[in-house]
Structure 1
Amino acid sequence: MSDKVYTPLHPPKETVKLAVPELKAPQIKMQEKIQEHFTKVGYTLPGIDENGNLMEEEKFWLSYECQLRYLRATKWKVDDAIKRLESTLKWRREFGLYAHMTPEHLEPEAVTGKEILFGYDVHGRPGFYMIPSRQNTTEATRQIEFAVWMLERCIDLMDEGVESLDLLINFADKAKNPSMSTSRTVLSILQNHYPERLGKALVINVPYLVNMFFKIITPFIDPVTVQKLKFNPDVVKDGIFAEDQVMKDSWGGNQDFEYVHEKYWPVLVDLCKTRKAKWVENWKQMGGTIGIRESDYKSGKSELPASTETATDSME
Structure 2
Amino acid sequence: MSEAVYTPIDPPAKPAVPPPHKELTDAETKMQQEIQKHFEDPAFILGEKPLMDVEKMWLSYEQILRYLRASKYKVTVAIQRLEATLKWRREYGIYETTPEQVEPEAVTGKEVLFGFDVNGRPALYLMPSRQNTNEPTGQIRFTVWILERCIDLMPEGVESLDLLINYADKAQNPSLSTARAVLSILQDHYPERLGLALILNVPWLLNAFYKLITPFVDPVTRDKMKFNPQVVQDGIFSPDMVMSQWWGGSCNFEYEHDKYWPALVSLCNERTQKWTATWKKLGGTVGIKESDYKTGDSEDVVALASAPDGADS
1:206-217 equivalent positions in 2, closer than 5 A: 206-217=202-213
Q: Report Cα offsets for 1:111-135 as digits up to 9, x if no partner.
A: 0000000000000000000000000
Report what 2:26 is aligned to. 25
Where in structure 1 do 4 or more consecutive aligned residues deviate above 6 Å?
Answer: 309-313
Report what 1:42 is aligned to. 43
Amino acid aligned to 1:92: R
Amino acid aligned to 2:64: Q
Report what 1:6 is aligned to. 6
Following superposition, the deviation at residue 18 of structure 1 comes to: 1.5
| 2: CA distance, partners of 1:123 / 1:18 | 6
Secondary structure of 2:114's counterpart equals strand
Following superposition, the deviation at residue 311 of structure 1 comes to: 9.0
TM-score between both structures, scaled by the size of structure 2 = 0.94
Report what 2:176 is aligned to. 180
| 1: CA distance, partners of 2:22 / 2:58 | 23
Provide structure 1 residue ranges, at least 5 long, that are not aligned to the other structure.
none
Report what 1:134 is aligned to. 130
Report what 1:105 is aligned to. 101
Report what 1:57 is aligned to. 54
| 2: CA distance, partners of 1:30 / 1:310 | 22
Report what 1:245 is aligned to. 241
Q: Report Cα offsets for 1:39-78 as digits up to 9, x if no partner.
A: 1131112xx2xx3210111001000000000001011110
1:79 aligns with 2:53: no
Change (3 A) 1:12 1:277: closer
Amino acid aligned to 2:190: Y
1:297 corresponds, among 280, 293, 302, to 293
Change (3 A) 1:311 1:145: farther
Report what 1:169 is aligned to. 165
Q: Is the 8 A contact 1:106 1:142 kept in 2?
A: yes
Q: Is the 8 A contact 1:126 1:165 kept in 2?
A: yes
Following superposition, the deviation at residue 11 of structure 1 comes to: 2.8
Following superposition, the deviation at residue 89 of structure 1 comes to: 0.0
| 2: CA distance, partners of 1:2 / 1:184 | 39
1:156-305 equivalent positions in 2, closer than 5 A: 156-299=152-295, 300=298, 301-302=301-302
| 1: CA distance, partners of 2:59 / 2:12 | 28
Provide structure 2 residue ranges, at least 5 long, that are not aligned to the other structure.
none
| 2: CA distance, partners of 1:78 / 1:310 | 28
Q: Is the 8 A contact 1:28 1:311 kept in 2?
A: no
Change (3 A) 1:296 1:227: same
Secondary structure of 1:137's counterpart equals coil
1:96 aligns with 2:97: no
Q: Is the 8 A contact 1:28 1:312 kept in 2?
A: no
Q: CA RMSD in A?
A: 1.9
| 2: CA distance, partners of 1:280 / 1:105 | 23
Amino acid aligned to 1:148: V
Amino acid aligned to 2:237: F
TM-score between both structures, scaled by the size of structure 1 = 0.93
Secondary structure of 1:116's counterpart equals strand
Q: Is the 8 A contact 2:163 2:196 kept in 1?
A: yes
Following superposition, the deviation at residue 312 of structure 1 comes to: 7.3
| 1: CA distance, partners of 2:95 / 2:238 | 35
Change (3 A) 1:63 1:172: same
Q: Is the 8 A contact 1:292 1:304 kept in 2?
A: no
Following superposition, the deviation at residue 107 of structure 1 comes to: 0.4
Q: Is the 8 A contact 1:112 1:134 kept in 2?
A: yes
